[in-house]
Amino acid sequence: MKIRTLVIALVLATLMPSVARADEGMWLLSLIGKNYDDMRRAGFQLTPEDIYSVNQSCLKDAIVGLGNAGQPFWHFCTGEIISNKGLVSTNHHCGYGKLQEHSTVEHDYLRDGFWAYTMEQELPNPGLTASILVRMEDVTAKVMESITDDMSESDRSAALRKACKEIEEKAVEGTQYNAQVKSMFNGNQFFLFVHIIYRDVRLVGAPPSSMGKFGGDTDNWSWPRHTCDFSMFRIYTAPDGSPADYSKDNVPLTPKHHLPVSAGELNDGDFAMVMGFPGTTDRFLTSYGLAETMDVTNKLRYEIRTVKINILRDEMAADQATRIKYASKYASCSNYWKYSNEQNKALRNLNTLGVKQQVEQEYADWARFQRNPKYNDALGLIREGYASRRDAKEAQMFLYEGILSGPEAPLFAAQMSRVIKSRLTADQPEEKGVMQKVKGMLGKKATGDLSALRPSVANFYKDYDEQVERRLAAALFGYVYAHIDAAQCPEFLLKAQKKYKGDWEKYVDNLYSKSIFANQESLVKFLDKPIVKQVDDDPLVKAGNEALEKYIALNESVPRQTRESLQRGIRSFTDGVLQINDGKKLMAPDANSTIRLTYGNVMSYDPKDGVSYHYYTTMDGILQKEDPENAEFNVPARLKELYKAKNFGSYANRKGEMPACFITNNDITGGNSGSPVINGKGVLIGLAFDGNSEAMSGDIDFEENLQRCICLDSRYMLWVIDVYAGARNLIEEMDIVR
């Protein structure tokens, strides 16, 4: 996010040709009218009411946030409704976890793909939700009624929570809706979002992973791409159309709006907008925060996950059952493993730190002339806040990546032990207070009966292999010990080093062999005849608790006043940035998993000297990249047969090529995966699925000359459904525009 002074803005206005171009901005739908003229110049042919309206069906009614039942307002991906029977398309990697859950060695949907040729064959996914926006409203004035500048941060937070809760409850009173008030611009504005959340979402189809993940880690975050990144789901409701849990009596959703799907031509310069639920951006981040992101978060995430990635690759390549078990976990781990490294490269190449420092100098020059001292104090508070927490953040990265989310058993043992003790000691008053932190984990009252834990236990160990777990633990425990500051190293690692002299495999073998949490059999046996002392003495419980408690304590190691001052400084700085730019340029709030729209054009680009990238790829490139010796570039035999016969159905372009992917200059981030790419007439032309490595700085500083959104061409999706899979039942329920 770059602040441009008025002089720079005027110079640019003089030098730039009068053509529409994308700029940073994940825009709130209800305010899109402010961008309307720019959108029309870029090729938009509809009205703002066609995008967002509470009185008529519109595009927002076809946009779906995919989430989990326990986190109704966090959306891990986006989907779009593409038929009047609730059919939803999204990315293959968004549906990957569900494909993995349904896969077995006998029915390997990851390897072979999955297609439901009738609705009866569609597969339920308990816990998966589909959220659609009903309405949104700026509630800043209501939220801020009781807020003053002289409040402490804790008092301010308490007042905000109270105000937001009252607004949310009133918004959904007497309805089946869900509501949340979300902060914008780092606590300077607040918007209410009301959603309807559907709880019966069934898997309909997906190509094999050799197509849906073609290119794997090698091609991730890069262009050109040839990945067939889509999967399909269907939303079901109760017979009366209301949200309902899975039931055989449920019926397909009749949506207020669904997107027609394009099988027509796509040209360089065509209008493109992306609607979806982007996760998180941080474009008001200062140079001090950026240094922490690069030197601590990104650097350590990449280095520690490299240890994990290499082990998982070896184990998954050696055994099909292990590959299925760890496929989704590996994908989740590797995605931001590569992202962290590529983002650091882009940030260095684009001198983003220097850009941030220039922004801060402009801010400081402005702040000197303001009467309110909070603006002058802001940068100092921010600098001191980040400096004071640097060591704690670094230690937390080692604890989280290396112990709490590296191997799985330590954290699981710590969490499950609390639940077990809460149920075994429910009638002992001295234990009740200790267990309050896990109250409600199972949604049941504490009791001595542990039978209710069996489904949770089975679910955890379903995708768990003890030998893989032991190998991960040995490698990661050793790595953490060797790199973490000794003062922050958990005691169990210090003792292990002293006793086992660096033989981490021997230590881990002893650790797991003595733990009831090492495998499902030993834990189930314990549940049959539980003993509280056995939980207290369990070595994996002790290790997990120690790491977790150390992690939490590191938060408290930074003085509360310093933490609150940092928060206040960031809010004041952001407020100042908004004032500096008032009247000069529209500014969009950072992404926070709320629905947004970005607009731009299909557009090629020149990433570096002597290199030019075309705006689309074709199936030709799939065969050119094929490598039978590399699993990332295997090509299914059926695809090769169809390609050789030039059997592209009615989906080839005017040159007779089978399109694969294309790029636009839309502003996207994580959470936008699966978002519809929509043309100027409101027709689906593709699915957004990735960004490009040259502009991986985009979450922190949008680079308008390099930023590209990588998209699956809708024609490739239709070809796979129709010709490759023969799922004519799905083709026939879509409105296809040629």
Q: Which residues are catalytic?
A: 93, 229, 673
In 3D space, the residue among 616, 659, 689, 666 whose CA is nearest the CA of residue 89 turns out to be: 689
- Least Cα distance to 478 among 513, 505, 514 occurs for 505
DSSP 510-530: HHHHT-TTSSHHHHHHHHHS-
Q: Which two tokens mark 564?
A: 């609150």
Long-range contact set of residues 328-332: C-beta below 8 Å, sequence gap at least 24: 328/96, 328/97, 328/100, 328/101, 328/463, 329/463, 331/93, 331/96, 331/213
> Using alpha carbons only, what angle is made at residue 736 by residues 732 and 737, rounded to the nearest 5 degrees?
160
The SS3 assignment for 471 reads helix
Distance CA 502, CA 191 (A): 53
Residues 651 and 722 sit within 8 Å (Cβ to Cβ): yes
Give the single-character DSSP code of 578.
H
- Residue 615: name the closest of 269, 273, 216 by CA: 269
Where b means 16+ CB within 10 Å and e means fewer, 464-487 reads: bbeebbbbbbbbbbbbbbeebeee
The answer to whether 688 and 673 have CB atoms below 8 angstroms apart is yes
- Provide the 8-state DSSP code for 205: E
Q: Alpha-carbon distance 287 to 570, whole Å? A: 12
- Measured CA to CA, the distance from residue 234 to residue 215 in angstroms comes to 28
d(CA 536, CA 68): 32
H/E/C letters for each residue in 228-267?
Answer: CCCEEEEEEECCCCCCCCCCCCCEECCCCCCCCEECCCCC
Cα–Cα distance between 556 and 369 in angstroms, integer? 36
> Rounded CA gap, 394 and 292, in Å?
9
Question: How many other CB atoms are found less than 10 A from the CB of residue 579?
Answer: 14
Whether the Cβ atoms of residue 647 and residue 723 lie closer than 8 Å to each other: yes
Residue 393: in which H helix or E strand, if any?
helix 373-399
> What is the distance between the alpha carbons of residues 567 and 481, in angstroms, rounded to a whole number?
32
- Cα angle value 537/539/543 (rounded, 5°): 120
Cα–Cα distances in angstroms (integers) from residue 531 to residues 418, 423, 425, 449, 543, in the given order: 13, 12, 11, 12, 19
- Could you tell me where the DSSP H helices lie in 403-453? 409-424, 429-432
Strand 261-262 vs strand 736-737: parallel, antiparallel, or unpaired?
parallel
The SS3 call for residue 180 is strand
CA 77 to CA 60: how far, in whole Å? Answer: 16
